Chain A
Amino acid sequence: MNGVRPPKGTPLTRRTARWLDSRVGAAGFARKALDKVFPDHWSFLIGEIALWSFVIVLLTGTWLTFFFEPSVEEVVYQGSYAPLRGVHVTRAYASTLDISFDIRAGLVMRQMHHWAALVFVASSVVHLCRVFFTGAFRRPRELNWVVGVVMLILSIVNGFAGYSLVDDQLSGTGLRIAYNIAISIPLAGTWLASLFFGGAFPGPDIIGRLYVIHILIIPALLIGAVAVHLFLLVTARHTQFPGPGRTERNVVGERVWPTYLAKGMGMFFLTAAILAVLAGLAQINPIWLYGPYRPADVSAASQPDWYMGWLDGALRLMPSWEIRAFGFEIPNPFFPSVLLPGVTFTLLTLWPWLEARITGDRDEHHLLDRPRDRPLRTAFGVATLTFYTVLFFAGASDVLAITFNTSVNFLFNAFRVLLFTLTPITGWIAYRLCKELTLRDQPGTSDAAAPVAPPSPGTGEAHQREIAPDEEALAEGTDEPARR
């Protein structure tokens, strides 16, 4: 094989491929990759959007590092934004102003970076919901679930680190809250805060350290986690919704080459296109309006990025309780901002095993559930989402109070009541809805014993035609999600 030379006249691409293959021997692997089959369903695109927006975050972020200066050294701003000219600001803030006003295409890049980060976390959360409600986390995919949860935590932390770098009034306020949350941790808190900030708040080192975390440590971890996530996905093959010809033993869909690859690339460009238009037209984080950070100042209606909203809401709704004894105390912020996220992400990580313990189902699953097939899981998921959604809105209680011209006091109490009533109510509604939909799937007849799973949204138009006419009439009246 070593000596085989392609005959004269072979096109350059082939010769290159030959050259490469004779050194790494990739033809077998590459052929398998081209022939790989991916099932098609609209909900499988959400994770793809997360992946592509992550790529955009990396590209735009890399560009920004060429201009941003992570330094708290004080300078007098001399750039082209007139209202701040002559003001003493840190290099971090001044260089962000320069990116926004004086570096060509800088503002679009900065805003695209921020929008892509928001979309990245958002699509990650929606992707997580898809995986949860369809039971895609079950054996053998528990590990990939854990990798996914770790990525979510990393991306939330990195989002916060990112917008805290700029040293504007809003980010400084956020860092001060973070510092106070850190010191609220019993025993270790004050040490942790002092080591991390390099001393008492604001600390001389925090911006530089956040920068290394933001552009090196967490991105490296995320890239590694994405690689593992995709590797595990390919190893076990993608899950699929049940349908004719689809079993636990096969995977039915399109081959990677060329259709799936073309669509995937198309998705990348479409995601990037939407982010570019947002970057150009939808202003985000206008730090020149917030001004440089001054520890004694604060602006009203300070709001964090959306994925921090639930934590902000929890901080607000927590009653003014603290535990004090013998001169020691557990301060109030510990409960909503250390304990709550700790419990949240622990339970989220362990969910595949918790559910397996409850249901006793430890079998391999490659066919997905429809949410209605598992009413209890769906109800639990909906209730949990409600809980965090109420917290999210509570995080904007002051803005809502102004918008709806009502008092913050009223809203606080309303949100506290909603938190503990809406959560079980929505869970119960979801449960009833699942039961109702299942009933409508099988009208009258008792062919529930049939081995074929109920028709799913994933089976496409053609298969839907197989439903009996009277059943279709019934289904028309329901508020089922639109089918592809």
Chain B
Amino acid sequence: MTTERSERPVIAAFVVAILAALALTVTYTVGGQPQLEGIFLGLALGGIGVGAVVWAQRFMPDEEVAEERPVLASNEEQIAAFTTSFEKGGHSLGRRSLLVKLGLGAVASLALAAVFPIRSLGPRPGRGLKETPYRAGGLRLVTEHGAPIRPRDLRAGTLLTVFPAGAIRDAQAPTLLLRLDEEAQEAFRPRKGREGWTVDGIVAFSKLCTHTGCPVGLYQEELKLLLCPCHQSTFDVLQAAEPVFGPAARPLPQLPLGLDSVGFLIATGDFSDPVGGGFWDRGRGPDRTDGEPDDEAEEEA
């Protein structure tokens, strides 16, 4: 078997491909190894690819040929022939216009009826967006492990994510619990009507950003700023979680706090506003437990 010099790259490429495919088989058989699998698969595929391209470039005809471009539009004759055929068949339909109309009506009615099962896909949206389990009132706040919390468990300046007892997995309910240090307690400006919502300098807000509902997971203690890692909305704790930066337009809803008979923190009612991102009729929710309705500002986009 003699080979031309110019054939050698193609030969080499195909040989590499064969060897790599064998190596891939061996790698797999002895237990697999992701990096080696990737390399051998790449070599096997790449060998074939290089071989084919070099082969095409060196040994296949590369003459430039010109092909006539077809005229896309049909000629008048063809169009006339089509029109004749179509009208010949259509003529019989025209004489039964009532049947045609009824037939179309029947199909349209069926199409309309077929739309309705879409309703089965999910429940009516409603209270789920506007309420959380806290609405029941008097629920204890618990940690992710279900442990109730006494005010003295919280050190000043720390942040704790808590949940309503019995609904730890509820996606709407995650709550931020913050104990303000004394200086911050002085500076804290509660909203009108929510002066009594804190206990011992502990304040609670919804953890869900009012922009797109991401958990507001970052806290800059020295500035008392809560930051959402998704789109960088920033809320000032001292101004009752007013948004001070980023795309969020509304403050984090606040949760009214109280103590039960044995001294554990409870929520005396639901959040001040629906939690998470806004929606069309957010402002027309069930009556809130307390506090001001939150649509005082009518901002214009």
Contacts and interface: CB of A to CB of B under 8 A. Distances in A.
Size class of the contact patch on chain B: 35 or more
A280 B35 contact: yes
B254 to A, nearest CB: 18
A254 B62 contact: yes
A300 B229 contact: yes
B60 interface: yes
Of B28, B45, B65, B212, which is in contact with the most chain A CB atoms at under 10 Å from its CB?
B212
Contact of A295 (B37, B215, B250): B215
A237 B67 contact: yes
Contacts of B50: 266, 270
Interface in A26-59: 35-37
B53 A262 contact: yes
Interface in B47-96: 48-53, 55-57, 60-70, 72
Interface string B101-136: 000000000000000001101111110110000000
Interface string B240-284: 000101111110000000000000000000000000111111111
Contacts of B280: 183, 185-187, 189-190, 328-331
B41 interface: yes
A249 to B, nearest CB: 5
Interface in A288-316: 295-302, 312, 315-316
Nearest to A293: B171
B279 A190 contact: yes
Interface string B38-49: 110111111011
A333 interface: yes
B211 A332 contact: yes
B122 A196 contact: yes
A308 B10 CA distance: 41
Contact of B38 (A37, A277, A296, A328): A277
B196 interface: no
Contacts of A366: 69
B42 A269 contact: no
A107 B27 CA distance: 14
A454 interface: no
A179 B36 CA distance: 40
A144 interface: no
B52 A262 contact: yes
A332 B249 contact: yes
Given A183-B129, A273-B43, A412 B62 contact: no
A266 B38 contact: no
Contacts of B52: 262-263, 265-266, 269
Nearest to B43: A273
Contact of A296 (B67, B161, B232): B161
Contacts of A105: 28, 32, 37
Nearest to B124: A194
B229 A302 contact: yes
A197 B172 CA distance: 15
B45 A269 contact: yes
B220 to A, nearest CB: 11
B163 A296 contact: yes
B1 interface: no
Contacts of A318: 247
A280 B42 CA distance: 9
Interface string A184-210: 111101110111111111110100000
Contacts, number: 301
Nearest to A279: B38
A93 to B, nearest CB: 15
A370 B1 CA distance: 49
A333 B277 contact: yes
Contacts of A298: 214-215, 217, 229-230
A298 B65 CA distance: 60
A44 to B, nearest CB: 15
Contacts of A176: 171, 212-214
Interface stretch (A61-69, A128-136, A319-327, A445-453): A319-327
Nearest to B245: A409
Contacts of B64: 245, 252-254
A320 B246 contact: yes
A199 B127 CA distance: 11
A409 to B, nearest CB: 6
Nearest to B41: A276
B295 interface: yes
A272 B141 CA distance: 54
Contacts of B32: 104-105
A423 interface: no
Interface in A308-363: 312, 315-325, 327-333, 335-336
A305 B119 CA distance: 32
Contacts of B43: 273
A252 B247 contact: no
B53 A266 contact: yes
Of A180, A196, A262, which is in contact with the most chain B CB atoms at under 10 Å from its CB?
A180
A200 B38 contact: no
B218 A177 contact: no
A306 to B, nearest CB: 17
B255 to A, nearest CB: 14
B229 A398 contact: yes
Contacts of B243: 320
A195 B121 contact: yes
Interface of A: 35-37, 104-105, 107-108, 111-112, 140, 173, 176-177, 179-181, 183-187, 189-191, 193-203, 205, 235-237, 245-246, 248-255, 258-259, 262-263, 265-274, 276-281, 295-302, 312, 315-325, 327-333, 335-336, 364, 366, 397-398, 408-409, 412
Q: Which 10 A-B pairs have the closest CB atoms?
A: A280-B38, A331-B278, A269-B49, A273-B46, A180-B277, A266-B52, A200-B128, A266-B53, A270-B49, A277-B42
Given A254-B62, A412-B245, 10 more contacts: A183-B280, A194-B128, A198-B121, A250-B67, A273-B43, A276-B38, A280-B36, A295-B174, A299-B229, A398-B229
Interface of B: 28, 31-32, 34-39, 41-46, 48-53, 55-57, 60-70, 72, 118-119, 121-126, 128-129, 144, 161, 163, 169-172, 174, 207, 211-215, 217-218, 229-233, 243, 245-250, 276-284, 295, 297-301
